[in-house]
């Protein structure tokens, strides 16, 4: 998928669909703008009127209370009007009628679609067909990308570690099916970390995963050596039945992050997780709630990052 679609002729962010094809400067610009919003997020500053009078539609074809809530809060703190629509995939299973839904919403002069969809490429498809005045933000499409999650992860990493260049980052778990993993690998490489290491059983790794710019380990204990940042992935329980995995117990024994295993990483390593966590499946509660965990800080940062991305995408409209 072409990533140029994401930029307007002046090279400014118009849509935010994937990390792929965005350069380091743009990612840094997002992180810096998000930093200026942290005070609004935690209420030391009140709302900002940046998007006053703008209408944002949350188009959630897949259920996600948490992600929908952060986008809704972010939009409201920018003073935008938010319309939340949960759309059963069934009623728009034909591309044609999805397009009719989009055409109708853009005819209402809304300014932005925040799209979550179970099918990879759905947000791109919408961006390709949307009217020129519309910005599309990808809130997760199939197993393809979840770029706002990646950016909040980058924000959290920078907050703690200051610099990206010397970091070794491990991503642990079901890389094969994870849009979070894909977007994080792209963001970390774009921002120039020293190493991205994926740690997973072979059945949960994509073919030729090395071409994504990562090193590979199949052993959690070994793989955590010298690691500064550990990104745990959520184990989709439905994978269990699909014979890719033996059992939750078995998985936890091999790839669950425990206090003991955490000690193998650098002493100041941080533990991240996109949530919601499966306690005792991919992560022990002692680690999830422990001093090295920044999982809840990720959630907080999610609002500032989404405010930044929405504000930047909307600014292009003045220029367009």
Nearer to its own copies, 195 or 248 (CB): 248
Compute the least distance from the CB of residue 166 to its own copies, in Å.
28
Nearer to its own copies, 28 or 83 (CB): 83
Nearest residue to 150 via CA among 195, 172, 189, 181? 181
Whether 177 is a known active-site residue: answer no
- Under 8 Å CB-to-CB from 170, ≥6 apart: which residues? 197, 198, 199, 217, 223, 224, 227, 229, 230, 231, 265
Whether 94 is a known active-site residue: answer yes
Q: How far is CA 209 from CA 2, 215, 216, 236, in A?
A: 21, 8, 8, 20
Compute the least distance from the CB of residue 213 to its own copies, in Å.
31
Nearer to its own copies, 120 or 300 (CB): 300
Compute the least distance from the CB of residue 288 to its own copies, in Å.
9
Whether 24 is a known active-site residue: answer no
Q: What angle do CA 223, 157, 63 make, to 5 degrees?
A: 90
HSE (side-chain half, CA atoms, 13 Å) at 174: 20
User: What SS3 class is residue 205?
Assistant: coil
List the x/- string, 268-287, binding to its own copies by CB under 8 A. Answer: -------xxx-x-----x--
The answer to whether the beta carbons of residues 150 and 187 sit under 8 Å apart is: yes
Helix and strand totals (H; E) in the chain = 12, 9
Compute the least distance from the CB of residue 46 to its own copies, in Å.
4
Stretch that binds its own copies, among 107-115, 122-130, 183-191, 249-257 (CB under 8 A): 107-115
DSSP state of 234: P
Stretch that binds its own copies, among 19-27, 73-81, 150-158, 190-198 (CB under 8 A): 73-81
24, 47, 52, 66: the catalytic one is 66
Q: Which residue from 22, 78, 111, 200 is in contact with its own copies, where contact means CB under 8 A?
A: 111
Stretch that binds its own copies, among 3-11, 41-49, 160-168, 214-222 (CB under 8 A): 41-49
Whether 18 is a known active-site residue: answer no
User: What SS3 class is residue 100?
Assistant: helix
Q: Which residue from 12, 14, 15, 77 is in contact with its own copies, where contact means CB under 8 A?
A: 77
Peptide bond into 20 cis (omega under 30): no
HSE (side-chain half, CA atoms, 13 Å) at 319: 13
66 binds its own copies (CB under 8 A): yes
Stretch that binds its own copies, among 77-85, 150-158, 163-171, 185-193 (CB under 8 A): 77-85
Stretch that binds its own copies, among 20-28, 76-84, 119-127, 210-218 (CB under 8 A): 76-84
User: What angle, 0 to 180 degrees and rounded to 10, lies between the N-to-C axes of helices 122-129 and 95-107?
Assistant: 50
296 binds its own copies (CB under 8 A): yes
E-strand ranges in the chain read: 55-60, 81-86, 112-117, 135-141, 168-172, 195-199, 215-217, 229-232, 270-272
Structure tokens at 238: 């439905």
Whether 116 is a known active-site residue: answer yes
The answer to whether the beta carbons of residues 176 and 152 sit under 8 Å apart is: no
12, 68, 146, 182: the catalytic one is 146
Nearer to its own copies, 22 or 277 (CB): 277
Active site residues: 66-67, 94, 116, 146
Name the site residues for its own copies (rule: CB under 8 A).
41-43, 46-47, 52-55, 65-66, 69-70, 72-73, 76-77, 81, 83, 85, 87, 96-97, 100, 103-105, 107-111, 275-277, 279, 285, 296-297, 299-300, 302-303
């Amino acid at each position: 998928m072409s990533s140029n679609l994401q930029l307007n002729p002046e090279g400014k962010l118009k849509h935010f669909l994937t990390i792929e094809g965005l350069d380091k400067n743009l990612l840094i610009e997002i992180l810096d703008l998000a930093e200026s919003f942290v005070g609004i997020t935690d209420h030391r500053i009140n709302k900002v009127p940046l998007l006053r009078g703008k209408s944002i539609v949350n188009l959630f074809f897949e259920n996600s209370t948490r992600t929908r809530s952060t986008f809704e809060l972010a939009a409201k703190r920018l003073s935008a009007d938010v319309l939340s629509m949960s759309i059963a995939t069934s009623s728009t299973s034909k591309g044609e009628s999805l397009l009719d839904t989009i055409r109708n919403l853009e005819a209402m002069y809304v300014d932005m679609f925040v799209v979550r969809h179970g099918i990879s490429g759905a947000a791109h498809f919408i961006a390709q067909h949307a009217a020129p005045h519309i910005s599309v933000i990808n809130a997760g499409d199939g197993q393809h990308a979840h770029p706002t999650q990646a950016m909040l992860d980058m924000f959290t990493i920078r907050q703690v570690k200051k610099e990206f260049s010397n970091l070794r980052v491990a991503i642990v778990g079901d890389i094969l099916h994870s849009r979070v993993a894909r977007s994080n690998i792209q963001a970390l490489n774009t921002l120039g970390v020293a190493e991205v290491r994926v740690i997973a059983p072979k059945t949960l790794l994509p073919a030729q995963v090395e071409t994504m710019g990562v090193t590979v380990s199949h052993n959690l204990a070994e793989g955590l050596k010298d690691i500064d940042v550990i990104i745990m992935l959520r184990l989709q329980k439905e994978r269990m039945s699909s014979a890719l995995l033996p059992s939750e117990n078995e998985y936890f024994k091999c790839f669950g992050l425990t206090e003991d295993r955490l000690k193998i990483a650098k002493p100041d390593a941080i533990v991240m997780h996109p949530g919601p966590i499966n306690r005792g499946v991919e992560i022990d509660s002692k680690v999830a709630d422990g001093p090295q965990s920044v999982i809840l800080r990720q959630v907080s940062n999610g609002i500032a990052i989404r405010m930044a991305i929405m504000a930047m995408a909307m600014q292009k409209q003045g220029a367009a």
